[in-house]
Amino acid sequence: MKIDSDFNDIDALGDDHIGTSSDTPLRTDAFKLSSSEKIDLIKDDVKHILETLGLDLNDDSLKGTPNRVAKMFVNEIFGGLDPHKKPSASTFDNKYKYGEMLVEKNITVYSTCEHHLLPIVGRAHIAYISNGTVVGLSKMNRIVDYYSKRPQVQERLTIQIVKELQRVLNTDDVACVIDAKHLCVNSRGIRDIESSTVTSEFGGKFKEKETRRELLDYIKLDTKF
């Protein structure tokens, strides 16, 4: 039957960790409900899942789980879906005329695979070349954190980080490299605990071989304190 075929295609898409767009797929009514309304609905859904699995939610250890999971989904691990939480990235004039690339490396990435809702954990390395404007270092970390806190595909996350910094800095000369482990690969399916996934997005001057090579050499530097 065609329906069975469609479901098989969808399963295959998820198992192969393929994304369909560089934009997060949101419905037009995504923000119609308040955060508290979403928590109440998700709490009931989580309760139903756990009961369906056969768990006794009268147990002291489990009775608060539906509410904890619902709050975690809305306020924490998927908080990046809320546009009101988008970090404001103040920029400043490059008064010291620094003209080389700036690299912020080893930024912690905590995200969630949108295919199995399992964690993605890794590091992001960001670079840009100023065209007269600079941004605070912590804002780069916050941009990574904001776009990570949503159901994600690593390729999309990498692109979204670059696009946002290009917008903030008004330059195409931005790059991002992410190296991360996907628990949907490490803990289920093939269960390969050693593998990681590397993605990159290079804009402007970073498309040039020499500039890209310089960035990758910076990333390889062993920083210890």
Distance CA 214, CA 102 (A): 11
Looking at beta carbons, which pairs linking 101-105 to residues 24 or more positions away fall under 8 Å? 101/127, 101/128, 101/129, 101/173, 101/211, 101/214, 101/215, 101/218, 102/127, 102/128, 102/129, 102/130, 102/134, 103/127, 103/215, 103/218, 103/219, 104/137, 104/140, 104/141, 105/218, 105/219, 105/221, 105/223
Backbone Cα Rg of the chain: 20
Tell me which residues are annotated as active site: 113-116, 154, 182, 184
Cα 104 from Cα 169, distance rounded (Å): 15
The answer to whether 101 touches 130, Cβ cutoff 8 Å, is no
Closest CA to 100 of 125, 126, 129: 129
Nearest to 129 by CA among 157, 80, 76, 166: 166
